[in-house]
Amino acid sequence: MRKKGLQITNDHGWTIERLQEQERKMKKANMAKRIAVIRLIMQGYLGIQVAELLNLHRETVSIYVQKFNQGGMDALLERRYAPGRKPYLSPEEERELKKCWKKALLPMKDTALKRAGIPGLFNMC
């Protein structure tokens, strides 16, 4: 009879003790939480119990287990970030603007500006 709930189908050589040690060493709390999910599932907790213990959504727990089963620790800890907004300026326009700024910067003469922390005055190109 098969055990109900989430299971670690491939432990990739990780034991509960090694996972606990890795969890303690992890500097980022969200990554330590991912490792804790795997450890708790290996210890026999149900996915819904792990979700409640770690304040995660049950689907997030399932995703972490799936990532670990497929690719091990590397896949579990991989974090992809959104690429971000497309730049307004092309690389050529950006270089041109930087050149313009370098020409426009005037040496600071006013001590009040220096005290205020204002880096300098700008002229238009």
Considering the domain architecture, whether residues 99 and 51 belong to the same structural domain is answered as no
- Domain annotation covers residue 82: no
- Domain annotation covers residue 68: yes
Contacts of 38 (CB under 8 A, 6+ apart): 8, 14, 19, 64, 65, 68, 76
Predicted local confidence at residue 119, as pLDDT: 59
Torsional sign, CA 116, 117, 121, 125: negative
Predicted local confidence at residue 104, as pLDDT: 66
Q: How many domains does the chain have?
A: 2
Give me the residue label for tokens 């002229």: 123
- Closest to 56 measured CA to CA, from 36, 81, 70: 36
| pLDDT by 10-residue block (mean), the chain, 125 residues | 74 91 93 96 94 96 95 91 85 87 60 61 49
DSSP assigned state of 2: P
Predicted local confidence at residue 83, as pLDDT: 83
C-beta separation of 64 from 37 below 8 A: yes
Residue 104, domain extent = 88-117
Predicted local confidence at residue 1, as pLDDT: 43
Considering the domain architecture, whether residues 96 and 73 belong to the same structural domain is answered as no
- Domain annotation covers residue 123: no
Predicted local confidence at residue 111, as pLDDT: 58
Question: What one-letter code names the amino acid at 86?
Answer: K
Predicted local confidence at residue 123, as pLDDT: 46
